[in-house]
């Protein structure tokens, strides 16, 4: 049985011709393609979260709005804030990394 990743790699390997490119900069085009792929993944995740929220709300005898409006305080709020800050640091790492790029281009700033 072929995994989903193996199927995608096989599809890429079987591609013929040149890859269409609409932007002048190949790197920008690649980043845009990655961002669009992540958008699709996020859309699927949001759909799954919505379904789970509806199931949990129905089984708990509350509305989805009540479930979504739950606010945390104390240690739970701190943990959620730390998780959000860690996520932002991982995502924006390239913008906050003070090291000089290895390709010789000057650092941002």
Mean pLDDT of the chain: 85
Residue-level pLDDT at 82: 95
Q: Residue 83: is its pLDDT beyond 70?
A: yes
Q: 7: part of which helix (H) or strand (E)?
A: helix 4-14
Integer CA distances (angstroms), 57 to 47, 69, 73, 103, in order: 15, 12, 21, 52
pTM: 0.63
Residue 61 or residue 25, greater confidence: 61
| Better-predicted residue by pLDDT, 5 or 53 | 53
Question: Rounded distance, CA 19 to CA 29, Å?
Answer: 11
């Amino acid at each position: 049985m072929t995994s989903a990743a193996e199927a995608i790699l096989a599809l890429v390997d079987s591609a013929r011709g040149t890859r269409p490119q609409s932007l002048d900069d190949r790197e920008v085009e690649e980043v845009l393609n990655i961002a669009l792929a992540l958008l699709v993944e996020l859309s699927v995740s949001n759909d799954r979260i919505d379904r789970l929220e509806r199931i949990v709300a129905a089984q708990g005898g509350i509305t989805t709005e009540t479930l979504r409006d739950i606010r945390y305080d104390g240690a739970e709020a701190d943990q959620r804030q730390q998780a959000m800050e860690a996520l932002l640091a991982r995502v924006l790492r390239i913008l906050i990394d003070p090291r000089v790029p290895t390709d010789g281009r000057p650092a941002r700033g």
